Structure 1
Amino acid sequence: MAKKHTKIAIAYDFDGTLAPGNMQEHSFIPKLGINKGAFWSEVKEKAEQHDMNEILAYMHLMLKKANEKQIQITQKAFEDYGKDIVFFKGVEEYFGKINAYARTKGLEIEHYIISSGLRDILKGTKIHKNFEAVYASAYEFDVNGVAVWPALAVDYTNKTQFLFRINKGIKNSWDNSKINKYIKEEERSMPFSRMIYIGDGETDIPAMKMINYQNGASIAVYNPNIRAKKGKLSPKQICQELLVHKRATYIAPADYSEGSELYNLLTSIIDKIALDQELKRYMQS
């Protein structure tokens, strides 16, 4: 009988973590014919004016701008936008390689996305098939598949909720009874100590801090090609601050190629988890 592999989880932010920029900037905003900087500035103004959640502000503004330009926002259109997303180096090949490495250590990886971006854009990406579940902002669609209302907004604080969903084996966003039900630590589907969180910045701080507190590992990744500008830190400098203030456990460039700094860091964490599992077996014998 084949040996059963121990499951571990890697949860990823998306924008700036697996792909440069924001997913709306790859196709949707250019189709509107507006400047991406102007769009996000308007989002911030709207949020401040109405004391509004910034994620809900961008979701509302997307609908408003699309209606003004007579561009229909449908489920299919979102998935088509996802096809245009370009990833960081090595991402498309990474999942198969890291899964194979983990199996040599007696582990099986479940991959998850926790993103403020749009779930239906993510569905259209080349890498969507690699994820056990995608927790991301989403619209409700009418019978014709047209977006009519925000169904789910994922922001920097409620990202932690989805880590608990992974922890308890809840692969949806709606079940609020099971998420609040008491389950003994040893009976939970995915212990936090076998979880890795990968994000790129300040919006990932609560998730990283929570994973660190629960003895998991957090990695802040950065685009090495973007330098600091006047009055603005580079992505690397932002990640260095996260490390100094113990918000992230590790930092690395967002290069997922085999042999890269990030890939080697992940294999080292996998090695540690495998060793911890082996030591636990001695404690139980």
Structure 2
Amino acid sequence: MATTLFTQNTIACIWDFDKTLIPEYMQAPLFRRYGIDEGTFWEETNKLAEHYRRRGYHLSPEIAYLNHLLTYVLAGPLAGLNNKILFECGSDIKFYPGLPEFFGRAKAFALEKPEYVKHEISVEHYIVSTGIAPMIRGSAIAQHVDGIWACEFVENPLQPGFLQQKELSLEASAEIAQIGMVIDNTTKTRAIFEINKGTNRNSAIDVNSKMAAEDRRIPIQNMIYIADGPSDVPSFSVVKKGGGRAYAVYNPDKLAEFEQNDRLLQSGRIDAYGPADYQPGSSTAQWLRLHIHQICDRIVADRELAVASKASKPPRHLNTAPDESAAAKKAPKQETFLE
């Protein structure tokens, strides 16, 4: 008998990282550790594509900073950098007010009404970032998330002929040398569809596989995408067009970020925006609670409608007793005396 793959009673909050969960770029603790001027690094990164173009090379801007980090490793300023150090630097990442505690509170929003509990609705958190995965895994928020998509580095890459070697040497002095995974502002949408189809939970499901809407683990209409600006427009669009919610945040201390989010709202890219403040009572925390509840309400309504439409009423015993109304009609009329 055919059956659906998933119950579709899960809500996904999908988060950007830099400038969404934290006020600075996540690489800042790394640069401080090595004494590198952060402003100089990003200025160089932003100008790489143009300089390489003049030399006849085409450089993807999205991976420019990853390549430049590797250049810093080779050239010496970041010599010895490995994934363990990146993980350790993650512990120095500072979050916006209310984090990481808000992630736990958001999961509890799906337990606030009996009908939500009855239908076993749950909230999951995913981070989809152009940043560095080991740093996110080493941060205070890692234990509160259900999945992380971000860039990865490879240490001590395999050498030519490694397939013919029976035993591969393990070098004690590991150092990042290659890019292992790239997440950019366009491929973030792939992560959204992996969450949508359940690829992250069932490796037998390929993200490019054709799947009926009812077989997908988390329908896009069950998603809320939270990010900070125009670079996330592709992801905002995918979620919004699929019936989900798109919410932008800004640093309350930076007027330009507020204006940027307002332009996104005016152009229809997002549903709403608010300050990157996740403390109880903040407008952002209240908006997210409200819309998680609205999604919960729709899930409840859809599931109860499905039960009503698919479950037929059971047969009942026929009433064999004499018709009381008929008997009453045949009974002699009695007078009533009032005293």
State whether TM-score is above 0.5. yes
C-alpha offsets along residues 28-82 of structure 1, whole Å, 9 cap, x if unaligned?
1223433322211211221232431223211111122233225311111000110
The alignment status of 1:149 with 2:156, answered yes or no, reads no
In structure 2, the partner of 1:109 is 123
1:229-248 superposed matches below 5 A:
234-248=256-270
Q: Is 1:254–2:254 an aligned residue pair?
A: no
Q: Report the equivalent of 1:46.
A: 48
Partner of 1:17: 20
Specify which of 244, 250, 274 is matched with residue 216 of structure 1.
244
Q: Is the 8 A contact 1:63 1:73 kept in 2?
A: no
Q: Identity of aligned pairs, percent?
A: 30
Larger Rg, first or second structure (1 or 2):
2
1:125 is the counterpart of 2:142: no
**Cα shift readout 1:70-116 (whole Å, capped 9, x = no counterpart):** 53111110001100000000012111211112222422111100000
Quote the residue 1:33 is aligned against: 35
The CA deviation at 1:176 is: 10
Q: Aligned partners of 2:254, 2:289: CA distance in 1, in Å?
A: 26
> Which of 91, 105, 113 matches 1:97?
105
Contact 1:219 1:249 in 2 (8 A): yes
For 1:260 and 1:209, how far apart are their aligned partners in 2?
26
Q: 2-side partners of 1:5 and 1:280: how far apart?
A: 10
CA shift digits 1:123-145 (9 cap, x unpaired): 10011011111000111123444
Counterpart amino acid of 1:152?
A: M
Q: Which residue of 2 aligns with 1:230?
A: none
Q: Equivalents in 2 of 1:111, 1:42: separation in Å?
A: 34
The match for 2:286 is 264
Query: For residue 281 of structure 1, what is the amino acid of its counterpart?
Result: R
1:17–1:221 Cα contact (<8 Å) kept: yes
Deviation at 1:17, TM superposition (A): 0.4
What is the TM-score of this pair, normalised by structure 1? 0.90
Q: Which residue of 1 aligns with 2:317?
A: none
Measured in 1, the distance between the counterparts of 2:135 and 2:78 equals 19
**Distance in 1 (alpha carbons) for counterparts of 2:262 and 2:101:** 27
1:273 aligns with 2:301: no
Measure, in 1, the Cα distance between the counterparts of 2:62 and 2:242: 27
Q: In the superposition, relative to structure 1, how do residues 238 and 176 fare at CA in structure 2: closer, same or farther (>3 Å)?
A: farther
Q: Which residue identity does 2:131 align to in structure 1?
A: G
C-alpha distance in 2, partners of 1:43/1:160? 24
CA distance in 2: counterparts of 1:110 and 1:191, whole angstroms: 13
Aligned to 1:231: none
Q: Give the aligned residue type for 1:126.
A: A
- The alpha-carbon distance between structure 1 residues 70 and 153, as it changes in their structure 2 partners (threshold 3 A), is closer
Report the equivalent of 1:283: 305
Taking the aligned partners of 2:41 and 2:132, their CA distance within structure 1 comes to 16
1:64 aligns with 2:64: no
1:281 is displaced (CA, Å) by: 3.2
Residue from 148, 162, 165 that aligns with 2:191: 162
Is the aligned partner of 1:8 residue 2:11?
yes
1:178 aligns to what SS in structure 2? coil
Distance in 2, matches of 1:102 and 1:246, equals: 28
Residue of 232, 236, 246 corresponding to 1:204: 232
Shift of 1:177: 7.2
Measure how far apart 1:274 and its partner are: 1.4
1:280 match: secondary structure: helix
**Structure 2: runs of 5 or more not aligned:** 1-6, 157-169, 309-339
Q: Is the 8 A contact 1:208 1:248 kept in 2?
A: yes
AA in 2 matched with 1:243? L
Asked whether the equivalents of residues 223 and 235 of structure 1 are also in contact (C-alpha less than 8 Å), the reply is yes
CA offsets 1:135-161 (integer angstroms, 9 cap, x no match): 001111234442110011111111111
CA contact (8 A) 2:196 2:216 kept: yes
